[in-house]
Amino acid sequence: MAIITLSYRDLTALMGQDIPQEELLAMLPMLGSDIDSVDGDVMNVEFFPNRPDLYSVEGVARAVRGFIGKETGLANYDITHTDNVLNVDPSVAEIRPFIVAGIVRNVTMTDELIASLMEAQEKLHLTLGRKRKKVAIGVHDMSQLKFPFTYRAVEPKSIKFAPLGYTMEMDMAEILERHEKGMEYASVLEGKSLYPIILDADGKVLSFPPIINGNITTVTESTTDIFLDLTGTDLNTLKTALNIIATLLAERGGKIETVKVIYPDNELVLPDLAPRVREITALEVNALLGTDYSPKLIAEHLRRMRFGAEASGDKITVQVPGYRNDIIHNVDLIEDIAISAGFGNIPSTLPRSITFGSERPLEVLSNNARRLMFGHSYLEVKSLALSCEKEQFEMMHRSESSALVKIQNPINEYLTCVRMTLAPSMMMFLKANKHRDLPQNIFEAGSIVSGTKTIRHLAALSMHSKASFTEMKSLVQTVLRDLNITFELVQCDDPVYIPGRAAEIIVADNSIGSFGEYHPQVLENFELGYPVAGFEIELEPPQS
């Protein structure tokens, strides 16, 4: 969740219509927000993380103009195509592989715009950007710059420049050690032998992403022409963030121009605000909402939510704006239709039958297992059910399973499949906390998916200098005994473990899991410097 500071005066000016503040405060939650606080003209509003396009007063004004019917359908932004080029050197492929860019000219840098731009940049860094690891945004005064630009990786001490806010030149290693932003975000480049940098045709430093811009491109009140660079690890997310920032500036009167971003094997012309096209039917909408809306009315609701929409027969062709990254499925469109219609206007019904709830046997067993793990001084973690093939198989030293369930339209490269085991996500947890004291003992009781089956698993990992097969065998035997599960142990050949230091757990002639010491290659893949032992078993309540 991101709290955005909105000026009532500035918001209504951008909307082009005066609305009483009380009415506006009642309307904003309908768009997916909570009012955090109000102090005169200043409104602090918390927006849900699925709508980063609302992380600025400009984005909110655009949405409200549609909601009140003043300006509906796709927002129209003219884009001028140019021959300005940013070349991407192959050296960044293993460092920070992606960059997108754009230009916005004729910008009037008012106090309101500067404040909004800085806040949007900060909130996008925290949310979409995962504290600049996934996305980092650079905003530059381009008056002293000359195309073509180059994005490449260099030795940390090979280039010196004055970072933003400084007149003294430093090399990149010094910036990480001495500059406040360098110290704050140095972990993003941890373990890298080369650092990314953006240079203009004369060798002037625009940026050392994701750390700091060069002082030469500082944006001031006299700036009129802005260059935007966004670097990171996920190209689609970068494109969305670029569109959000570019349209923010365009809402204030700026004129968007393209940049050719030339990769070794590809060329992109950005920003690309071309809408994505989806089709939805009135039957889908009415079946989910319990309504009887006509295709024409559905199209009107979609236009109020700033989509392009045209009805033809039972079908509605929908154009999704380039700054909306949250529309993954038609259900997301139906949610916006419900928002436009007003949830209070959607009919409700009472349940047709009376039922009495009780805890499922599987939940009883899972909770008993949790209590046992707490008793052994293990901390519970909760990870996402979505993962990626690299984590689930490659990093775990395993071959991909044919029972893997893949995501058809993944939102990013890290969430491309449903997990088949719990251990990979737990390994990532240990990786993120390897700077903490040892031992680290964690467990998770959660569901995995194999083919068409959803199965409850219990997994545990122990990381310390003496983590061993013997330690894990004792834990497994104690937990299974206390859960009244009769089992036997046999040799395990799973490549995830060190050969000869693992065992398979057999219950009623069926394997329910395994335990052992994890293979050094697995530990290296997750950048773990200490031995790790663990187990993962299937939880199945006794049949009544």
Question: Under a CB-based contact definition with an 8 Å cutoff, are residues 51 and 240 in contact?
Answer: no
> How far are the Cα atoms of 27, 35, 36, 43, 480 from residue 39, in angstroms, in the given order?
18, 11, 10, 6, 58
N residues, the chain: 544
Give the pLDDT band (50/70/90) at residue 173: very high
Q: Could you tell me what percent of the chain has a pLDDT over 70? A: 99
b/e per residue 318-347 (b: at least 16 CB within 10 A) = bbbbbbbbbbeebeebbbbbbbbbeeeeee
The per-residue pLDDT for 540 is 84
Kindly list the distances between the CA atom of residue 537 and the CA atoms of 380, 451, 461, 467, in Å, as whole numbers in the listed order: 16, 18, 12, 19
Phi/psi at 297 (5° precision): -65, -40
Of 82-86, 101-105, 304-308, 353-357, which gets the smallest average pLDDT? Answer: 353-357
Question: Which tens digits make up the pLDDT trace of 316-334?
Answer: 999 999 999 999 999 999 9
Please say if the pLDDT value at position 79 is more than 90. yes
pLDDT band at 543 (very low <50, low <70, confident <90, very high): low
Give 31-66 pLDDT, tens digit per residue. 889 999 999 999 999 998 899 999 999 999 999 999
- Residue 542: pLDDT above 70? no
For residues 342-356, average pLDDT: 86
111-126 vs 57-67: helix crossing angle, rounded to 10: 90
Structural domains in the chain, sorted by start: 2-67 (3.30.56.10), 79-270 (3.50.40.10), 276-343 (3.30.56.10), 361-538 (3.30.930.10)
Q: Is the pLDDT of residue 314 over 50?
A: yes
Q: What does the alpha-carbon distance between residue 281 and residue 333 come to, in Å, rounded to a whole number? A: 11
- For residue range 410-461, what is the model confidence (pLDDT) as tens digits? 878 889 999 999 999 999 999 999 889 999 999 999 999 999 999 999 999 9
Tell me phi and psi for residue 141, to 5 degrees: -75, 120
Average pLDDT score over residue span 299-315: 97
For residue range 369-423, list pLDDT tens digits in order.
Answer: 999 999 999 999 999 999 999 999 999 999 999 999 999 888 788 899 999 999 9
Question: What pLDDT is stored for residue 355 in this prediction?
Answer: 85
Contact indicator for 175, 182 with CB cutoff of 8 Å: yes
pLDDT reported for residue 483:
94
pLDDT over 90 (residue 2): no
Give the chain's mean pLDDT. Answer: 95
pLDDT class for 242, splitting at 50, 70, 90? very high
- Written as six digits, the tokens of 58 are 């400009």
Nearest 10 degrees: CA dihedral of 469, 473, 475, 479? 150
Taking each helix axis as running N to C, give the angle between helix 8-15 and helix 57-67, from 0 to 180 degrees, rounded to the nearest 10: 50
CA separation (Å) from 108 to 13, 15, 76, 81, 213?
Answer: 15, 18, 20, 21, 21
145 vs 161: CA distance, rounded Å: 15
- Determine the pLDDT at residue 434: 87
Let me know: does 413 contact 388? Beta carbons within 8 Å: yes
**SS3 at position 333:** helix
Interval 496-519 mean pLDDT: 95
Nearest to 383 by CA among 429, 438, 329: 429
- Sheet of 308-312: strand order equals 276-281, 315-320, 308-312
Binned at pLDDT 50, 70 and 90, residue 349 comes out as confident
pLDDT at 347 over 90: no
- CB of 23 within 8 A of CB of 14? no
- In this prediction, residue 172 carries a pLDDT of 97
pLDDT recorded at residue 544 = 47
pTM above 0.85, yes or no: no
- The pLDDT confidence band at residue 185, using thresholds 50, 70 and 90, is very high
pLDDT category at 113 given cuts 50, 70, 90 is very high
Least confident of 14-28, 80-94, 206-220, 350-364: 350-364
Residue 433 and residue 339 in contact, taking contact as beta carbons nearer than 8 Å: no
pLDDT of 78 strictly over 50: yes
